[in-house]
Amino acid sequence: MTTETLMQVASRSSVVLCCGSGGVGKTTASAALALAQMRTGRRVVVVTIDPARRLADALGVTGELGNQPTLLSSENGGELWAMMLDANETFANLVQGYSSDSAQVERIVTNRFFRNISSSLGGTQEYMAAEKLFELHNDPRFDLVVVDTPPTRKALNFLDAPGRLVRFLDHRLYRVLLAPARGGLRVVAAAVTPIVRTIARVVGASVVDDAIAFFQAFEGMDEGFRARAQQVTQTLTSPTTSYVVVSSAQKEALDEAQFFINRLKTENIATAALIINRLTPDFGVSSDTQTTNNFPALAENANRLAQRAASERLSIAPLVAAVSPSPVVYLSLLPHDVADHQALSLLADQLS
């Protein structure tokens, strides 16, 4: 049986990733954990990959969170920052970091193919999430990065995103599209190759022209991206990066939580902690005869809640066993939404 707590796990971590399905309070738990760690004197940034306003609401932020961290509060020498991932902006900043040629950067970021892949191509969002995590992890302003992952089974795809980027850079198609630039040929010369002609018939010649122009502008930067991808992978699998699974006692949420735990196991990553949220408080079974006789409806309701609480404990037992000996935190269902700093502070107290 573990003697470690969730707070101790977070205190020895430089990155904490919170994973779970939608509707289990994962964003709120992430914000509460970040606040609790800030109170210990750490400089914490919490970042959401989900474009919804859940993080801002949980933190009581009335304005919009952007792609750059915003300082929200400070206490005991600690600081609490927050931000929301913008994959397009992160990709553009990454390009700027790998080129000292402003004209090259301009050709890339204004290219239509770049604008499409930076916002919609499968895997790009996940890689940019990993990239932003790496950037914040190496930012001297922060001691801890807490990541609120999207409420989807693809939330952990960023574990493989750096590897997918490297495989793409090694792919034959990439080399074919880049060949005109390396050979000093004009862009139109690539259109005569059989593979590019085939692609052009499917997606259109203008799309292919944009792609070739993008890769020509991209030339010379691929090695930098390759090296960075390896560094990002090292951060995601580092001993100081901890994965916390958040669930409720509902069957669908428990199934999703088990999926995340199994997914981590395939990467040889242990679940660092488990948070069971929105549990029915255990008021106990009413055995007072006077209360039962005088307030039968109230007594019946109390007994029903007690039975529900007991049933939830049975439901979560297999999941608790699956993460043993990692710590498990049990959070009771609150009578109200967490939509301001005071409510979030009360939740942070339970984590501490």
Residue range 12-44, pLDDT digits in tens: 999 999 999 888 989 999 999 999 999 999 999
3-state secondary structure of 274: strand
Q: What's residue 184's pLDDT?
A: 45
In the chain, the domains with their CATH numbers are: 14-302+327-351 (3.40.50.300)
| Euclidean distance between CA atoms 339 and 54, whole angstroms | 9
**Among 75-79, 146-150, 256-260, which is the least confidently predicted range?**
146-150
- CB of 272 within 8 A of CB of 243? yes
Q: What's residue 211's pLDDT?
A: 62
Residue range 36-68, pLDDT digits in tens: 999 999 999 999 887 677 788 788 787 788 899
- CB of 334 within 8 A of CB of 344? no
Over the chain, what is the mean pLDDT?
80
Q: pTM for the whole thing?
A: 0.81
**Helix, strand, coil proportions of the chain in percent (round to 5)?**
55, 15, 30
Would strands 144-148 and 78-84 be described as parallel, antiparallel, or unpaired? unpaired
- CB of 133 within 8 A of CB of 15? yes
Q: Three-class SS string for 100-140?
A: CCHHHHHHHHCCHHHHHHHHCCCCHHHHHHHHHHHHHHCCC
Q: What's residue 129's pLDDT?
A: 83
The DSSP code for 326 is S
Task: Name the strands in the sheet holding 241-247, side by side, starting at the edge strand that comes first in the sequence.
Answer: 70-75, 78-84, 43-48, 144-148, 15-19, 241-247, 273-279, 328-332
Where does the pLDDT of residue 149 fall: very low under 50, low under 70, confident under 90, or very high at 90 and above?
confident
Q: What's residue 217's pLDDT?
A: 61
Q: Three-class SS string for 211-266?
A: HHHHHHHHCCCHHHHHHHHHHHHHHHCCCCEEEEEEECCCHHHHHHHHHHHHHHHH
Residue range 153-191, pLDDT digits in tens: 777 877 887 777 667 666 565 666 555 544 444 444 444
In what helix (H) or strand (E) does residue 277 lie, and over which residues does it extend?
strand 273-279
Report for 84-98, 132-146, 163-177: range of highest mean pLDDT: 132-146
* Cα distances (angstroms) measured from residue 344 to each of 39, 113, 351: 13, 42, 11
- The angle, 0 to 180 degrees and rounded to 10, between the axes of the packed helices 124-137 and 161-169 is 110
Q: What's residue 352's pLDDT?
A: 72
- CB of 169 within 8 A of CB of 225? yes
Where does the pLDDT of residue 78 fall: very low under 50, low under 70, confident under 90, or very high at 90 and above?
very high
Dihedral class, residue 115 (left if φ above 0, else alpha if ψ from -120 to 50, else beta): alpha
